[in-house]
């Protein structure tokens, strides 16, 4: 076999062949329009892999993104993407070498204290210190069974269909405003919006083309949007349409309720599915029959603290805490050590210490609890974290928890 060299993508032709390998290993045909859109937010020097002189044998990369943390800070994150090893080269350690290279690179860049990714298979990334930190929910049901609680205030706004341009005139500001209260979500600059709204047969999954709705307040300001695809269907007994909802965002509860009411009332629709929901999605509490709205929970973002003390100072905490964490990190040994975290709702300090540790935890499990959606108490009860000082875990678990469940529907 030709010798492999680890290198970054050099130019656009090289990027095309890099992407061709990536699509191929993901068992897809390359999508030229998607690649072109993705190129707009791709930094070539962050895309790298093993090349045999003729073709790419393995690929990996990262986008420079920002993620919303508990407490509302929007901080830089390496959004890891495009990780593939060709079938001819699998299980020879290429992924391990790429993870090594990438985490060293993120550390030396110094901008990002965090890396995040979606895993194609959940067994892959724990060994590299990534912990499963958030879940997405798929909500589905028969719209006529759902109903709405009668005490829901729908406000006095109006919902209308919008074209893409009108949506793009209003939705980014609504999204950005909502972001601070949505831990685990990433920023969506204009090229990412284009990618998010890109409408291909593959993305439609048998439904119709993408549609948009906008909610306006009585004063004319836009305060909610919905992105969805209807699927026409006729059963022998009559209409049997499906509604595939991609995203609903609102700046206030009435607008959120009103736009959902609009979606669920569309004539000829009988069933709905919302793939981009959070586990604590408000719709679950607005419907009259909660059982009729089924909720399937799927794993979402894996989080890796590349710089443990810095990462711990970036987020806010649900309660005051003063705790010494004994962190073990085999893959990034610079994180192994004892760190004293003094933190609360208003800020956090974290520094190396020689003081005795209260809690022992791996970097992977620290990544899992980082967004506030996984309980340190549960991990301790499961034997994955250790309570070294009696009573340290409940208080620390409360501080690390967060009232809003993290989630992230935008795949990258
Ligand atoms: C997942 C993938 C990148 C692994 O690449 P690889 O070069 O074969 O991985 P490595 O040889 O470095 O394996 C490192 C370790 O991870 C394990 N591992 C790798 N892929 C795994 C998987 N899918 N499931 C479980 N374990 C896996 C290996 O067995 C090995 O374990 P060991 O250290 O105990 O021996 C490759 O199989 C692939 O491209 N799969 C298809 C695309 C994909 O799913 N990419 C991930 C996108 S998030």
Model confidence pLDDT, tens digit, residues 15-73: 999 999 999 999 999 999 999 999 999 999 999 999 999 999 999 999 999 999 999 99
Q: How confident is the model at residue 276 (pLDDT cuts 50, 70, 90)?
A: confident
Closest C-alpha to ligand 1, atom 48: 119
- Is 125 annotated as catalytic? yes
Give me the percent of the chain exceeding a pLDDT of 90: 96
Output the CA angle 313-315-320, nearest 5 degrees: 80
Distance 105 CA to ligand 1 centre (A): 20
Q: Domain segments of the chain: what residues?
A: 5-112, 136-297, 310-400
pLDDT confidence of residue 1:
82
In CATH, which of 3.20.20.70, 3.40.630.30, 1.10.760.10, 1.10.10.10 is domain 136-297?
3.40.630.30
Residue 223 annotated as lining a ligand binding site: no
Q: Ligand 1: which atom is nearest the Cα of residue 117?
A: 48
Domain 5-112 fold? Aminopeptidase (3.40.630)
The minimum-distance atom of ligand 1 relative to the CA of 96 is 12
- Find out whether the beta carbon of 72 lies less than 6 Å from any atom of ligand 1: no
Task: Please write down the HEC assignment for all residues of 18-74.
Answer: HHHHHHHHCCCCCCHHHHHHHHCCCCHHHCEEEECCCCEEEEEEEEEEEEECCCCCE
310-400 is classed CATH 3.30.1050.10: yes
The neighbouring-strand residues paired with 227 are 212, 247
Q: What single-letter DSSP state applies at residue 88? A: G
Whether ligand 1 lies within 6 angstroms of the CB of 27 is answered as no
**Equal CATH topology for 5-112 and 310-400:** no
DSSP element (H, E) containing 315: none
Summarised one tens digit per residue, pLDDT across range 216-231 is 999 999 999 999 999 9
Residue 91 CB–ligand 1 contact under 6 Å: yes
Closest ligand 1 atom, residue 85 Cα: 39
- 86-120: per-residue pLDDT in tens? 999 999 999 999 999 999 999 999 999 999 999 99
pLDDT tens digits for range 136-177? 999 999 999 999 999 999 999 999 999 999 999 999 999 999
- Compute, in angstroms, the gap from residue 95 CA to the centroid of ligand 1: 6
The answer to whether residue 298 scores a pLDDT higher than 90 is yes
């Amino acid at each position: 076999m030709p010798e492999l060299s680890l290198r970054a993508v050099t130019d656009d032709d090289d990027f095309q062949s890099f992407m061709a390998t990536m699509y191929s290993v993901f068992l897809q045909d390359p999508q030229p329009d998607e690649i072109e859109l993705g190129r707009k937010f791709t930094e070539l020097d962050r895309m790298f892999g093993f090349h045999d002189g003729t073709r790419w044998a393995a690929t990996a990369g990262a986008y420079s993104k920002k993620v919303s943390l508990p407490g509302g800070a929007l901080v830089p994150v390496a959004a890891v993407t495009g990780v593939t090893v060709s079938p001819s080269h699998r299980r020879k350690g290429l992924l391990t070498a790429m993870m090594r290279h990438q985490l060293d690179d993120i550390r030396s860049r110094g901008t990002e204290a965090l890396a995040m990714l979606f895993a194609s298979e959940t067994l892959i990334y724990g060994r590299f210190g990534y912990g499963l930190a958030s879940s997405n929910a798929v909500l589905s049901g028969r719209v006529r069974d759902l109903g709405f609680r009668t005490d829901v205030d729908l406000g006095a706004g109006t919902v209308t269909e919008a074209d893409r341009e009108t949506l793009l005139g209003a939705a980014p500001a609504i999204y950005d405003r909502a972001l601070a209260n949505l831990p685990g979500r990433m920023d969506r600059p204009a090229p990412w919006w284009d990618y998010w709204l890109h409408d291909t047969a593959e993305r439609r999954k048998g439904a119709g083309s993408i549609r948009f709705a906008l909610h306006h307040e009585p004063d004319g300001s836009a305060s909610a949007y919905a992105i969805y695809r209807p699927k026409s269907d006729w059963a022998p007994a009559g209409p049997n349409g499906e509604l595939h909802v991609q995203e609903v965002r609102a700046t206030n509860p009435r607008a959120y309720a009103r736009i959902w009411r609009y979606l669920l009332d569309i004539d000829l629709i009988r069933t709905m599915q919302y793939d981009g929901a959070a586990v604590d999605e408000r719709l679950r509490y607005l419907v009259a029959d909660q059982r009729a709205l089924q909720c399937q929970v799927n794993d979402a973002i894996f989080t890796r603290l590349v710089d443990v003390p810095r990462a711990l100072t970036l987020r806010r905490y649900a309660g005051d805490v003063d705790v010494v964490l004994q962190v073990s990190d085999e893959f990034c040994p610079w994180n192994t050590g004892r760190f004293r975290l003094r933190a609360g709702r208003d800020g956090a300090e974290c520094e190396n210490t020689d003081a005795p540790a209260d809690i022992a935890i791996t970097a992977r499990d620290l990544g899992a609890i980082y967004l506030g959606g996984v309980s340190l108490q549960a991990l301790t009860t499961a034997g994955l974290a250790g309570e070294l000082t009696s009573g340290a875990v409940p208080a620390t678990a409360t501080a690390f928890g967060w009232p809003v469940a993290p989630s992230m529907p935008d795949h990258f």
